[in-house]
Chain A
Amino acid sequence: MKILSGSKALFAGVAVAVFAVGALYSCTATSSGNDNVLVGNAAAKVYVPPGKYDEYYAFFSGGFNGQMMVYGLPSGRLLKFISVFSQNPETGYGYNEETKPMLQTTYGFTPWDDTHHPELSQTDGVPDGRWLFINGNNTPRVARIDLKTFETTEILQIPNAAGGHASPFTTPNTKYIVSATRFSVPIPNADVPIDTYKQNFKGTLSFITADQPGKMDIAFQILMPGFNYDLGHAGKGPSDGWFFFTTYNSEQAFEKLEQNASQNDKDFIAAVNYRLAEQCVANGKAKTAPADYFHNVMDERSRVAHSERKSSVKMLNPKDCPGVVYYLPTPKSPHGVDIDPTGEYIVAGGKLATVIPVHSFSKMQKAIADKQFDGDAEGIPILKYNSTLAGEVQKPGLGPLHTEFDGKGNAYTSMFISSEIVKWKLGTWQVLDRMPVYYSVGHLMIPGGDSKKPWGKYLVSLNKITKDRYLPTGPELAQSAQLLDITGDKMKMLLDFPTIGEPHYAQAIPADLIKGNSLKFYKLSESTHPFVTRSEAEGGIRRQGRNVHINMIAIRSHFAPDNLEGVMVGDTVYFHVTNIEQDWDIVHGFGVLGAENAEVVVAPGETRTLRWIPKATGIYPFYCTDFCSALHQEMQGYVRVSAPGSNVALKANVSERAKSQSTRAQALPTHGHDVGEVGSGSR
């Protein structure tokens, strides 16, 4: 810290040395940190006895695995992986025919992304437990996860964008979630020389309607100067109606950003008056701009996803809507921008700054009224730094990134380089306490800590580097989360647990707001899946040209039919497996020899379809992959594959018992669906 206190040259030039100092600092802190754990009653505070529930659900982004993880707090127990933007062979998400459309983008089938920021839906500025949103950073997308089923139900691609990082932060009633471009690109995208960046590259801020499930859409986009837009948060209380985004690379560098984007003393926070933007759009100030993007929705009743391709957006140029955006100068490549629970303070985390600057919303409004401008950036007024500044936290540590709040007037900021959490007081800007974390914290999270009403009991530090913290596992190591008790004057370290895929951010909410709504199974009687099989007697096999459709049920402990003949090499076989159980936690899986995709896992009441193309004659077994019952090992069957053109008749066995239970003819349900493409939609 001493090294950095004076010289700015050190920031740019000796980044490696700074990092080393940070690491050294952390190393020396290790022993005191461990002592900390030993002296307290930390174990008792995180102990959740067998069979008891955790106090909070915590949702961790899966980072570069593209998924989401659900943990219980304070125990740190992993409860679930939620498949979002990446194929997941564990469940068949993105492999089975029903969910493939969820991963459709204008670039084609896009089975991977990089998830960064989970965001709980809010009512009046407080997390409400209805939905969770998360962004895909690589191919800009936002997803909705329904917290009744803990499943991804909707994905919207963000057009005119590259790198959806400042996303999917919500407005206080989840009218909108946002997505801003991390990478500026030509808009619309075009084949131009990269060194024409300044004239051709632009950023966009997208406002996405989010309060109607299944109906997410781009309400409007704001065309911005070609900076990098990093993070965002909505105002609340007095600042309700405004949205704040950090920008870096106001230098507009397009090569060697490590140095070239770290030149300016200050970059900006963009303050967006989105109510005014709404008005301007309503008054026809926005242009209808070409756009190309997909909207994918999982139908609640059929559990089949459909894709819709859209072709235009409302694009608002700030020049056509004066007063819609102002830039607040903010030191040194700010990363996080966090609004305190009262809505008055706008806290920035300058990655390379020596202070934590805090802007005042009321001062900002006065500065706008008084036209305290310091030039403009492509027509967007830049407010004078001192005209909006409420205060600066001096010597907070190295590498401030993100700030959350406990609702008691305190703020907590993560320090990446000095690897610590720093607690400070809003208003006095005094540092109150610091806690070393292991190592290099990115985001931190207090349940509701970015909302109007934080549940200020715990703080989670999401650390990037684990090094010697756990048993070594080769070159690739887990990341870590550390749980701190923040109820007292001094923070107490309680627990740390490994996380996978580099979770960036997490959100948490009291379990009581969610657990009572959790669905136990899908109602078979309400399924509208085109290939649902409701009873054993309805099972069967049918040929349509080279496609063979098999309607099959799974129930403890058998498939029906379980002997299939008449399939020929060259056929494409669709196993439509319906789990006809109507019981909690009775899940069946289906795997078949030689499948080139994955298994399918079928929840009770659900139908999932595995596409299978046998390449050689023979007998192929299939079996249940999810240990369902005492006779799970007996839950299996065979498909006979014959040579092309052979005269083996189509045959699907249905037991006498099943026949006797139903007088209905053994016939497949008739429906006018295009059977080869269960999940595909219009394009």
Chain B
Amino acid sequence: MMSGRSEVAVANLSSVPGGRSDNAPLAGADAAPVTRPVEAVSTRAPGRSRVMVLLAAVLLCGVFFLPLWNVRLTAPQYPEGLGMHIRINTVEGATENDLNNINNLNHYIGMKRIEPESIPELRYMPWIVAALVVTGIGAAAIGKRKALYGWTGGLLVVALVGLIDFWKWEYDYGHHLDNEHAVLKIPGMTYQPPLIGAKQLLNFRATSWPAWGGILAGIAIALAVAAVLLAWRQRKLALAQR
């Protein structure tokens, strides 16, 4: 990776201590005037940005192993709680029977059974994330600033669409109730769990938080955005110096 160091940095390498090369343009801007201004504003992203994007892509792999989101339900009858793990490709109970038990309870309010097979997004998502991982590594390897921008943009779009989609499913389950078969019908009551945070739904308190997979994805997004900001600022500085 260090071989892909920016040309500006290379130009100023002699003037800064080793290992801080990415800071070199900033530190060196005053100390050593740029001698080759034509090459200074390169299309290549700073090495640190590329490392961050690579790391982001690698961290994204975590969502294949760890749940993205946890929904937890507690009630007077369920002090131990029931839980659902939202994974990249499925929805599963926190224990072997939790999902079935949640579905059994939901029949009282006429909620559809939560069946992962009936949620097509769960089939696409692994491919989309796999593509993000591959392209992320690719973008880091190419090292073009725009590639990083593009990849980060894609990542943000996928994350945003994913969250909206998750919310939509929650809305769908919580609102589209089978009133014909529901035995517990409370006018005006809907049962959409929160996207994030806690909410009281009859006797159940539903809490929803990112799980380790979601947290890793969040870190990946933060890294990607930071990488973009870094590259963007560096370019801005370089332009200013021209």
Contact (Cβ within 8 A) A582 B101: yes
Contact (Cβ within 8 A) B108 A630: yes
Question: Is A556 located at the chain interface by the 8 A CB criterion?
Answer: yes
Q: Which of A556, A557, A657 contacts B181 (CB 8 A)?
A: A657
In the assembled complex, the Cα of A557 lies from the Cα of B101 at a distance in Å of 13
- Chain B proximity mask over A545-556: 1 for CB below 8 Å, otherwise 0: 000000000011
Question: Is A581 located at the chain interface by the 8 A CB criterion?
Answer: yes
**Which applies to chain A's interface (DSSP): helix, strand, loop or mixed?**
loop
Q: Which of A534-570 contact B (CB under 8 A)?
A: 555-557
Question: Is A584 located at the chain interface by the 8 A CB criterion?
Answer: yes
Q: How large is the interface on B (under 10, 10 to 19, 20 to 34, 35 or more residues)?
A: 10 to 19
Q: Which of B80, B97, B104 contacts A556 (CB 8 A)?
A: B104
In the assembled complex, the Cα of A556 lies from the Cα of B96 at a distance in Å of 19
| Smallest beta-carbon distance B228→chain A, Å | 48
In the assembled complex, the Cα of A631 lies from the Cα of B183 at a distance in Å of 9
Q: A631-B183, A657-B181 are in contact. Are A584 and B108 (CB under 8 A)?
A: no
Contact (Cβ within 8 A) A555 B183: no
Contacts of B97 in A (CB 8 A): 582-583
How many A-B contacts if CB must be within 8 Å?
19
Q: A631-B183, A657-B181 are in contact. Are A581 and B108 (CB under 8 A)?
A: no
Question: Is B100 located at the chain interface by the 8 A CB criterion?
Answer: yes
The residue in chain B whose Cβ has the minimal distance to the Cβ of A523 is: B96
Q: Which of A555, A584, A631 contacts B104 (CB 8 A)?
A: A555
Contact (Cβ within 8 A) A584 B183: no
- Chain B proximity mask over A250-282: 1 for CB below 8 Å, otherwise 0: 000000000000000000000000000000000
Contact (Cβ within 8 A) B183 A582: no
Contact (Cβ within 8 A) A582 B181: no
| Smallest beta-carbon distance A629→chain B, Å | 8
| Smallest beta-carbon distance B202→chain A, Å | 10
Q: Which of B108-128 contact A (CB under 8 A)?
A: 108
The residue in chain A whose Cβ has the minimal distance to the Cβ of B98 is: A583
In the assembled complex, the Cα of A556 lies from the Cα of B100 at a distance in Å of 12
Contacts of B100 in A (CB 8 A): 582
Contacts of B96 in A (CB 8 A): 582
| Smallest beta-carbon distance A633→chain B, Å | 12
- Chain B proximity mask over A579-619: 1 for CB below 8 Å, otherwise 0: 00111100000000000000000000000000000000000
Q: Which of B77-101 contact A (CB under 8 A)?
A: 80, 96-97, 100-101
Contact (Cβ within 8 A) B80 A584: yes
Q: Which of B149-180 contact A (CB under 8 A)?
A: none
Contacts of A581 in B (CB 8 A): 101, 104
In the assembled complex, the Cα of A519 lies from the Cα of B122 at a distance in Å of 34
The residue in chain A whose Cβ has the minimal distance to the Cβ of B79 is: A51
Q: A631-B183, A657-B181 are in contact. Are A583 and B101 (CB under 8 A)?
A: yes
The residue in chain A whose Cβ has the minimal distance to the Cβ of B97 is: A582
Contacts of B108 in A (CB 8 A): 630-631
In the assembled complex, the Cα of A631 lies from the Cα of B80 at a distance in Å of 22
| Smallest beta-carbon distance B94→chain A, Å | 13
The residue in chain A whose Cβ has the minimal distance to the Cβ of B100 is: A582
| Smallest beta-carbon distance A622→chain B, Å | 20
- Going nearest first, the 8 A-B pairs with the smallest beta carbon separation are A582-B97, A583-B101, A631-B183, A582-B100, A556-B104, A583-B97, A555-B104, A657-B181
Q: List 8 A-B contacts (CB under 8 A).
A: A555-B104, A581-B101, A583-B104, A584-B80, A630-B108, A630-B184, A631-B108, A631-B183
Known contacts A556-B104, A584-B80, then 17 further A-B pairs from the complex at CB < 8 Å, ordered by chain A residue: A555-B104, A556-B105, A557-B183, A581-B101, A581-B104, A582-B96, A582-B97, A582-B100, A582-B101, A583-B97, A583-B101, A583-B104, A630-B108, A630-B184, A631-B108, A631-B183, A657-B181
